[in-house]
Amino acid sequence: MTYDPTADLLVRVRKLLDKAEGTSNAHEADAFSRKAAQIIATHRIDPARLVEIDLSDELRVREFDLGRGAYVRARLSLLQSVAEVHDVRVVFESRPDGTVAMAAGFRSDLDVVEVLYNSLHQQAASQMARERRGTPAATQRFRRSFLFGFAEKIRQTLRDSQAVAAGSVRAVDDSGRRELAVLSRNARIDDFAGTAFGRVRTARAPSAAQAGGWDAGSVAASRADVGRSRLSGRRSIGRGKQ
């Protein structure tokens, strides 16, 4: 997914123009229009791009059911691996019917995270199901470690993709505006998440994973479909152009 550093400005302009159209007061309409024009001129925004803006892309919280049992924390690790590079903040809560992860971010980012997490979890689960060990307990330990290794490899892959894409953007635009826009956007997400989640405490670290299962999961993740072919029509993992 490619983050447009002018997206927040475009939303602001679109809202100003909508206000200008919606008021019956000529002075208010003129003031809103002038402010919108000023932003467009100052930041050299192509006015034609305003039609692309979806004002429903608001900050919100979405829940992900992680179930119960031995694989909960490994599923959470996979969700966090996808979420962190798409500017989504994640916490989790144990409830009577199982563990639920709560993700805070912009709706468009949450959509991407949901699609990719479900796809990657399904891919991992199908490969885990083929793994058998001497006892049911040993099989469960191996599969749990497999999923942790899978999640960590996905995390590394996404970070690498993000770093490459960010470097490409800096090579084109070294003005620093993009960095400021990203910082501003992240601050908005952090403020929203802090309010939505309330008091959050640090969870106890999960128990250690087995090296063999971890390595097998890492190898499987290196071959995973991350959205570029199977999920046709969807934005892919990372921030590069397709």
Cα-based distances in Å from 90 to 100, 191, 216: 10, 14, 26
What is the dihedral angle through the alpha carbons of 147, 153, 158, 161, rounded to the nearest 10 degrees? -160
User: 112: which 2 tokens?
Assistant: 């991407």
Q: What is the pLDDT along the chain (242 residues), one digit of tens a residue?
A: 445 666 777 777 777 777 776 777 877 877 777 777 777 767 766 655 665 565 567 899 999 999 999 999 999 999 999 999 889 999 999 999 999 999 999 887 888 888 889 889 989 999 999 999 999 999 999 999 999 999 999 999 988 887 776 665 555 555 566 677 777 888 999 999 999 999 999 888 888 888 999 999 999 999 887 754 333 333 333 333 32
Domain locations in the chain as residue ranges: 7-52, 59-222
| Rounded Cα gap, residues 88 and 103, in angstroms | 6
Start-to-end CA span in the chain (Å): 9
The pLDDT of residue 83 is: 95
94 strand-pairing partners = 99
- Exposed, middle or buried, 108 (CB in 10 Å: 0-12/13-18/19+)? middle
